[in-house]
């Protein structure tokens, strides 16, 4: 069995992609717009300077290279912030934005269907509560933010720990309400006439 809640877990990857797409991306629209404008302006100016240099070296009138490189540099600069995703967020997000994101991850984890919440722990709906508790202990030991080797990793561990804790609490509630464990599915039952 792989590491509980590990990044290579398909269920966990899908969960984080959904949170990123539906909750985090809207938060970044404002900061990314500012970053796009700044990056477009700077790269446009650098490219324009390079174009002017090429135009002067080639003694071109009308400065075609400076116009082309200005547009090209501005376009590339405006696209750069979109390539950063979680790294950009980790490095640039304010404490308030990180708090909102942590709250969104926790909210999404508490809303997961039971089967998806169990999948975060590599469990099936037939798993006992004792097995869930064991999986939670393994996950909490593995992903607690204090176990991270550096600050960047601590941010990743924090997101995973919050999601797993919220999913665990949701599953405990399902066990308390006798919605879990579900009996193993069996083949078709014989009819009364047989």
175-178 long-range Cβ contacts below 8 angstroms, 24+ apart:
175/129, 175/132
Residue 123 lies in a domain: yes
In a domain, 193, yes or no: no
CB 120 within 8 A of CB 138: no
In which residue are the tokens 């798993």 written? 127
CA dist 90 and 53 (Å) reads 38
pTM above 0.95, yes or no: no
Q: 16 lies in which domain range?
A: 10-176
Helix, strand, or coil (residue 141): helix
Range in 64-68, 79-83, 111-115, 124-128 with the lowest mean pLDDT: 79-83
190 in a structural domain: no
Q: Is residue 183 domain-resident?
A: no
Residue 62 lies in a domain: yes
Evaluate the CA torsion angle 122, 128, 130, 133 in order and state its sign.
positive
For residue range 30-59, what is the model confidence (pLDDT) as tens digits?
A: 666 677 677 777 877 887 788 788 878 888
Cα(first)–Cα(last) distance of the chain, in Å? Answer: 42
Classify residue 191: in a domain, yes or no.
no
Q: Could you give the number of structural domains in the chain?
A: 1
Tokens (6 digits) for 149: 């080797």
Tell me the per-residue pLDDT of 54-99, one tens digit each, with 9 for 90 and over.
878 888 877 787 777 777 767 766 666 554 455 655 666 667 777 8
Residue 71 lies in a domain: yes
Nearest to 105 by CA among 52, 154, 166, 53: 166
Q: What angle do CA 169, 161, 180 make, to 5 degrees?
A: 25
Within a domain: 2: no
């Amino acid at each position: 069995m792989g590491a509980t809640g590990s990044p290579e877990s398909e269920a966990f990857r899908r969960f984080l992609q959904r949170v990123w797409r539906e909750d985090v991306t809207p938060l970044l629209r404002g900061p990314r717009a500012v970053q796009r404008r700044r990056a477009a302006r700077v790269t446009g100016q650098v490219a324009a300077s390079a174009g002017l240099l090429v135009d002067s070296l080639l003694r071109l009138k009308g400065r075609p290279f400076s116009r082309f490189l200005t547009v090209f540099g501005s376009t590339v600069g405006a696209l750069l912030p979109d390539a950063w995703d979680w790294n950009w967020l980790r490095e640039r997000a304010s404490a308030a934005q990180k708090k909102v994101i942590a709250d969104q991850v926790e909210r999404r984890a508490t809303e997961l269907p039971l089967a998806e919440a169990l999948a975060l722990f590599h469990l099936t709906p037939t798993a006992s509560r004792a097995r869930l508790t064991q999986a939670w202990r393994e996950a909490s030991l593995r992903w607690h933010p204090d176990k991270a080797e550096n600050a960047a990793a601590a941010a990743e561990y924090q997101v995973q720990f919050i999601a797993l804790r919220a999913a665990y609490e949701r599953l405990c509630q399902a066990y308390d309400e006798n919605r879990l464990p579900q009996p193993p599915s069996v083949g078709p039952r014989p009819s009364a006439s047989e």
